[in-house]
Amino acid sequence: MSPMSFNLAHSLPELILAVGALFLLLFGAIRGKDSDGPLTEIAVGLIGVAILTIILGAKTQAIVFDGLFIDDAFGRFMKVLVLLGSIVTLVMGQNFLALEKIDKFEYPILVVLSTLGALILVSATGLITLYLGLELMSLALYVLAAFHRDNLKASEAGLKYFVLGALSSGMLLYGASLLYGFSGTVSFTGIAAAINGQASIGVVFGLVFLMTGLAFKMSVVPFHMWTPDVYEGAPTPVTAFFATAPKMAAVAITVRVIITAFPGITTQWQQIIVFISILSMVLGSVAAIGQTNFKRLMAYSAIGNMGFALVGLAAGTPEGVEGVIIYMAIYLVMTLGTFAAILSMRINGRSVENVADLMGLAKTNPAMAFFLAMMMFSLAGIPPLAGFFGKFYVFNAAIQAHLYPLAVIGVLSSVIAAFYYLRVVKFMYFDESTVAFDPPPAILRVVLGVTAMLSLFLFVYPPLFTGAATAAAKSLFLP
């Protein structure tokens, strides 16, 4: 096999999305308004093919494109999560965009381009590839946040995200330049070899600024300020996309950078991860209590969940990384199910987002109330639902690494967070009915039902899922 064929074979999902995005852009420009529906279906097909190429493709590890891009078990697992988040949010959002009259042909193209950036980000082996993937993902997200341009909240959300995103990109670049200056290389393994366990003040500053940029994309405290406003202001399908695919990519590259570029200076990066993890868990648990808008509540829930995920990374062990991977996969399922419920909340053709609008849902739509209750119980971490297992794996890794205070704070934060999840259940089952929701589209019922069942029955045979996560985690620690 020629070097070029070898490169392309290990970057086939990215190639499919890149060529597909160019085709979609040309098709949309030529067809104009008539292309709205077909483009979404073609985009879904492209992402579906990309998932199949990962699942059915070669399982060998390879570094291609002159050491800029890696194809390994960890990358493949996280890419499947990214692509699942993209494909489900695209399918779920079609009806909403049509009803709001914003089903423009650019929407699926922007989602595909952002997904492409996320895939490149997951497989980055150096600072240059990291920045290229991050910016490709982010530039499309800036436009998507303000996609409903006639809506003041959406325009405000897009502007806030763009300004803060530009600031975070600058910080990340500054950190990358410091790391390059003090190590003489941009590759993660090269940085690890140059540092050789000796962290100079310049390397520590570079690490801090690099983590600042990545923390912004994960929306963890203290770089979370954009999250509630953007989640509330952006169109709901866009918010669902924000909460899933880009989150998977941001966590994946953070784990890869920490484990492969800074293995010898655990004390330095562990302090950063523990600090932002504690702040995120506490703020995500406390600040959500007073929220009345369901999307803002999910924003603070996302902040808290990212904090829980980082508990596993703080351990710095294969078991910790495995915990992060499992937690993110379960988080993806729970988030997609919850947003399917939010998209189903329409009264007389008008979209509603307040938690109080769920009052009496158990009487008017018992199936939706049951499935959404499963999502809330799972997010709260109540056994034997999937959310409990996600928290169990990350807390167990922290305990094995002797990070007892972090695990205790995590458990206490989880208990506090249970209040606002259970309040949603209380509204649905114990309050009087106000007005019934319009019947949701079949696809939303399917997504809500499937995700609820996955959350409910994961405990039946966990190895079906955890085996791949274990292999993915171990691949990061290979020499």
* pLDDT at residue number 1: 54
User: Is residue 259 a contact partner of residue 191, using CB atoms and an 8 Å limit?
Assistant: no
DSSP codes, 123-188 = TB-BHHHHHHHHHHHHHHHHHHHT-STT-HHHHHHHHHHHHHHHHHHHHHHHHHHHHHHHHS--BH
More confident call, 153 vs 243: 243
Q: How confident is the model at residue 456 (pLDDT cuts 50, 70, 90)?
A: confident
pLDDT tens readout for residues 180-207: 998 888 888 888 888 877 778 888 899 8
The C-alpha atoms of residue 387 and residue 193 are separated, in whole angstroms, by 38
Backbone φ and ψ for 447, nearest 5 degrees, come out as -60, -45
Query: For the chain, which residues make up each domain, given as ranges?
Result: 1-264, 266-479
pLDDT tens readout for residues 309-358: 999 999 888 899 999 999 999 999 999 999 998 888 888 878 888 888 88
The C-alpha atoms of residue 282 and residue 104 are separated, in whole angstroms, by 39
Q: Using alpha carbons only, give the angle 217, 344, 286 rounded to the nearest 5 degrees.
A: 45
Count of C-beta atoms within a 10 Å radius of residue 42: 19
Q: Which two tokens stand for residue 436?
A: 């019934």
User: Is residue 307 a contact partner of residue 278, using CB atoms and an 8 Å limit?
Assistant: yes
Using the 8-state DSSP alphabet, how is residue 444 labeled?
A: H
The C-alpha atoms of residue 449 and residue 372 are separated, in whole angstroms, by 9
Q: Is the pLDDT of residue 469 over 90?
A: no
pLDDT tens readout for residues 101-122: 877 888 899 999 999 999 999 9
The C-alpha atoms of residue 47 and residue 13 are separated, in whole angstroms, by 8
Q: Is the pLDDT of residue 288 over 90?
A: no
Using a pLDDT cut of 70, give the percent of the chain over it: 97
Q: Is the pLDDT of residue 224 over 80?
A: yes
Q: How confident is the model at residue 302 (pLDDT cuts 50, 70, 90)?
A: very high
Q: Is the pLDDT of residue 242 over 70?
A: yes
Least confident segment among 29-33, 119-123, 359-363, 473-477: 29-33
Q: How confident is the model at residue 175 (pLDDT cuts 50, 70, 90)?
A: very high
CA distances from 457 to 78, 218, 464 (A): 22, 28, 12
Q: Tell me the CA end-to-end span of the chain in Å, nearest whole number.
A: 25
| DSSP bridge partners of 69 | 64, 124
* pLDDT at residue number 433: 75
More confident call, 405 vs 462: 405
* pLDDT at residue number 22: 92
Q: Is the pLDDT of residue 478 over 80?
A: no
Q: Is the pLDDT of residue 466 over 60?
A: yes
User: Is residue 212 a contact partner of residue 175, using CB atoms and an 8 Å limit?
Assistant: yes
The C-alpha atoms of residue 153 and residue 135 are separated, in whole angstroms, by 24
More confident call, 170 vs 149: 170
pLDDT tens readout for residues 47-91: 999 999 988 877 787 888 888 888 888 989 999 999 999 999 999
* pLDDT at residue number 202: 85
Mean pLDDT, rounded, of the chain: 87
- Enumerate residues 6+ apart whose C-beta is below 8 A from 253: 121, 122, 124, 130, 133, 134, 214
The C-alpha atoms of residue 266 and residue 260 are separated, in whole angstroms, by 11
Q: Using alpha carbons only, give the angle 92, 122, 240 rounded to the nearest 5 degrees.
A: 20
Radius of gyration, alpha carbons of the chain: 21
* pLDDT at residue number 37: 63
Residue listed under structure tokens 């193209």: 109
The C-alpha atoms of residue 374 and residue 378 are separated, in whole angstroms, by 6
* pLDDT at residue number 416: 92
More confident call, 405 vs 438: 405
